[in-house]
Amino acid sequence: MLERRHDGVAVLRLRRPPVNALDAAAQDLVGALAREADACDDVRAVVVTGGAVFGAGADVHEMAAMTGEEMAARAPALQAFTDAVAAVRVPVVAAVEGAALGGGLELALACDVRVCAQDARLGLPEVGLGVLPGAGGTQRLARLVGPSRAKDLLWSGAPVGAEEALRLGLVDEIVPPGTDVTRLDQEYKPPALLDARLRRRPAGDRAAV
């Protein structure tokens, strides 16, 4: 769901209990909500959050029920939902609590800034199932942390904790448990990256951040 607030912050909140597994419907909804936020002229920033668990990846039960042909047909839509987040013209902050795994991490990678709680864990464990990240995560991860570190994360599939994620450059900031990152102008003071730039950017201008 998308929550609009008077302070110009739109909160895109994942709600698919218990662990926010991103099935096809959830992926499509995230993409639609990102486009909705982008179309609002009074939105100055978007925060993507999942509550206690940011996102535990794709719905493996749904995937297991799909044929190879169905999975191939779904591939463009899988890429499209993170592309929609990456295309939002105002800064997008991923507020990661709990786990950001698989598709959940790919969603966070599509955001401009990743803020995580001290106990968060991030990774791409789907390689253990013989599946590569399909929502743009391989490219975005390499651009963010460099090819060598990206290969380590992709090939091992092992999740990393908050401190290691910060050291690698996978996240931008660690906050104490319970910090309300959605309160960008109040409880949580965003990085300098956002302080001066909570305004709409020209379409497609990701370099402005």
The yes-or-no answer on residue 106 being catalytic is: yes
> Rounded distance, CA 209 to CA 195, Å?
11
DSSP 3-state assignment of 95? strand
Q: Which of 126, 163, 164, 187 is catalytic?
A: 126
> Rounded distance, CA 190 to CA 115, Å?
9
Q: How many beta carbons lie within 10 A of that of residue 59, not counting itself?
A: 19
DSSP 3-state assignment of 167? helix
The yes-or-no answer on residue 70 being catalytic is: no
Number of H helices, E strands in the chain: 8, 9
Q: Which of 3, 97, 106, 163 is catalytic?
A: 106
Identity of the residue numbered 48: V
CA 169 remoteness from chain centre: 15
> What is the DSSP secondary structure assignment for residue 188, as one 8-state letter?
S
Q: Kindly state the tokens that stand for 128.
A: 């253990």
Task: Catalogue the active-site residues.
Answer: 106, 126
